[in-house]
Amino acid sequence: MKLSETTGDQRKTHLEYVDNRWKQLHEMSNERTEKAWSYLMLTNSGSAVAVLSFMGANKTLTPIPGAPLMLLCFLVGLVLVGLGHAVGYYRSYGLFSKWRENVGEYFEDKITWHELLERDRQRSGYFIWADVVAWGSFLSFLSGLGIGISSAMKLAN
């Protein structure tokens, strides 16, 4: 049944369901995003601390081959986590300020309800930079880990 074919009570029920589902999906997305950033922060910072501790305990910058490069990978991962948070903040701020501006235009009868929703839909699409930064951080961690495993295997032989 199309929205235009619904009665008042049906329409209200449908719109409430849409609103509740939207909130549920939005909260789930935010929770997953925050957990991903926390994981990347924890793994990269913990790894950097471990490498620094190992370097300090052995009183040399290269207690194992590749230690400085491992450290660099983990630090790049941390910088990307910070950049990811900044990208997320400015993306959210941009969406909010444009929404506020468009709502003001709607309240002043400068745009229609449909135009308000269409502008929001166009702005709210996929945002690749958040993924690029997050995957960059994870790849930095994996690179540092790979260097560490490779170095440990060389020492074992």
Q: Is residue 20 part of a domain?
A: no
Which of 9-23, 79-93, 141-155 is the least confident region?
A: 9-23
Provide the phi-psi class of 66: left if phi over 0, else alpha when psi is between -120 and 50, else beta.
left
Band (57; pLDDT cuts 50, 70, 90) = confident
What is the percent of the chain where pLDDT is above 70? Answer: 99
Q: Is residue 12 part of a domain?
A: no
Record the pTM: 0.78
Q: What is the mean pLDDT of residues 16-21?
A: 87
The total of structural domains in the chain comes to 1
For 97, the domain range is: 36-156
H-run or E-run covering 20: helix 8-57
Q: Is residue 148 part of a domain?
A: yes
Q: Is residue 22 part of a domain?
A: no
Distance set, CA 22 to CA 4, 29, 35, 79, 121 (Å):
20, 11, 20, 32, 13
One-letter amino acid for residue 61 of the chain: L
Average pLDDT of the chain, as a whole number? 90
- Is the distance from CB of 137 to CB of 77 less than 8 angstroms? yes
Q: Is residue 130 part of a domain?
A: yes
Q: Is residue 29 part of a domain?
A: no
Q: Is residue 25 part of a domain?
A: no
Q: Is residue 94 part of a domain?
A: yes
Q: Helices 67-107 and 8-57 meet at what angle, rounded to 10?
A: 160
